[in-house]
Amino acid sequence: MADRPVPIAEKRLMDVKLGELGTWLGGRDFTPNGLISAIRKGHDRYYNKYINVKKGGIGGIAMLLVGYVAISYIWEYDHISKKCIFSYNFP
Amino acid sequence: MTLSFFDQFMSPTLLGIPLIALALTLPWVLFPKPSSRWLNNRVLTLQSWFINGFAQQIFQPINQEGHKWAALLTSLMIFLITLNMLGLLPYTFTPTTQLSMNMAFAVPLWLATVIIGMRNQPTHALAHLLPEGTPTPLIPILIMIETISLFIRPLALGVRLTANLTAGHLLIQLIATAALVLLPLMPTVAILTGALLLMLTLLEVAVAMIQAYVFVLLLSLYLQENV
């Protein structure tokens, strides 16, 4: 069964194919209202899929925390990569 | 060499945004809103249980007037405990290690309790400066001491939280460095140091929760005196 053709800019992020990513980003709404509504919709989708379920376990929050650690690492990469592990000044 | 141990307390920036901005907004994401369902999901149930139990516990000794502070103190407690616990994850930044932030919590709230006391019941509030049953010659000195202790309260609140968390993070980093350096040289000692590190991390988890609780408890005590 084929899906109905939907314009690329209006697809959900998980349905966008890698090659279409540029077109998708170009067509999105980057006004403050648009950004806030995008964040809110994303949060609602995540919440309703993983946390707001009948027998939710630790997985829903654990994924959020692991994502937070990963983003913190990316944030600090610049600062950490300049350190030499084999010197006394490492920490 | 000691200066580099304090690097973990400077929030690095990516594209001009400091990491503290992400660390401060994360607690908002982790706590879902109560819904209008009769039976909620597990996370929301646990959260409601914790919030209601905590509010009941803290506000039991305070009179009816003070219950207006329930939302403020409960949300402060949740915020502090989340910030402290999230800071124990690897690579994350703990905003409560910054003295500026803790003083920003402590001074306005303490000042609010003092002003409320002075405005609504000035005699009663001033009477706190002299404990019952002091011998007469000691009265002037004791009033000065109590005034000083009154003004040191916000400083103590802020510095207590900062110092506890900063010291904990520094200890973890020092002992982890020691374990890492000892590993190729004396593996047994390194394993013992690793066990020490494990116990220290458990202590840090406890300290994170206790310090947040102590902060809010002391504020509720100051409120109880004055409201």
Residues of chain A with C-beta less than 8 angstroms from the C-beta of B43:
51, 56, 60-61
B107 falls within a domain: yes
In-domain check, residue B6: no
- Asked if residue B18 belongs to a domain, the reply is no
pLDDT in tens, B51-70: 999 999 999 998 888 899 99
On whether the CB atoms of residues B116 and B226 are closer than 8 A, the answer is yes
Residue B31 lies in a domain: no
Answer whether residue B184 is part of any domain. yes
> What is the mean predicted confidence (pLDDT) over B205-211?
87
Single pTM value for the model:
0.87
In whole angstroms, give the CA distance from residue B47 to residue B75.
Answer: 12
With a cut of 50, list the residues of chain A below it in pLDDT: none
Residue count (chain A): 91
Please name which of A71, A67, A63, A35 lies closest in space to residue A47, comparing C-alpha atoms: A63
Q: Which residues contact B96 (CB under 8 A, 6 or more apart)?
A: B80, B83, B84, B87, B102, B161, B162, B165
pLDDT computed for residue A89 by the predictor: 66
pLDDT confidence of residue B3 = 57
In a domain, B40, yes or no: no
Orientation angle between helical segments B99-120 and B139-182, nearest 10 degrees: 160
Residue B171: name the closest of B190, B210, B212, B199 by CA: B199
Question: CB-hemisphere CA count at 13 Å for A85?
Answer: 3
pLDDT tens digit string along B10-49? 877 777 788 888 899 899 888 988 888 898 888 899 999 9
Whether chain A has a CB inside 8 Å of the CB on B69: the answer is no
Domain that holds residue B58: 46-226
Give the bridge partners for B200, in sequence order.
Answer: none
CB contact under 8 A, A72 and B174: no
On whether the CB atoms of residues B162 and B99 are closer than 8 A, the answer is yes
- For residues B227 and B113, the answer to whether their CB atoms sit within 8 Å is yes
Q: Is the pLDDT of residue B106 over 90?
A: yes
Tell me if B41 and A43 make a contact (CB, 8 A cut-off): no
The tokens of B135 are what?
């011998």
Asked if the structure places residue B80 within a domain, the reply is yes
Contact B32 A68 (CB under 8 A): no
Give the separation between CA A21 and CA A48, rounded to whole angstroms. Answer: 25
Residue B159 maps to a domain: yes
Report the amino acid identity of residue B121. Q
Q: CA angle at residue B76 from B72 to B79, to 5 degrees?
A: 140
Per-residue pLDDT, A91: 67
Q: Looking at the 3D structure of chain B, how many domains does it have?
A: 1
Confidence category of residue B73, pLDDT binned at 50, 70, 90: very high
Q: What is the ipTM of this complex?
A: 0.84
Q: What Rg value do the Cα atoms of chain A yield, rounded?
A: 19
Over residues B74-103, mean pLDDT: 92
**CA-CA-CA-CA dihedral for B6, B9, B10, B15, to nearest 10:** 130
Q: Say how many residues make up chain B.
A: 227
Task: For residues B209 and B109, give the distance between their C-alpha atoms in angstroms, rounded to a whole number.
Answer: 20
Q: Which residues of A touch B14 (CB under 8 A)?
A: 74-75, 78
pLDDT in tens, B127-145: 888 888 888 898 999 999 9
Asked if A48 has any chain B CB less than 8 Å from its own CB, the reply is no
Q: Tell me: the pLDDT tens digits for B131-180?
A: 888 888 989 999 999 999 999 999 999 999 999 999 999 999 888 888 88
Per-residue pLDDT at B1: 47
> Cβ–Cβ of B92/A75 closer than 8 Å?
no
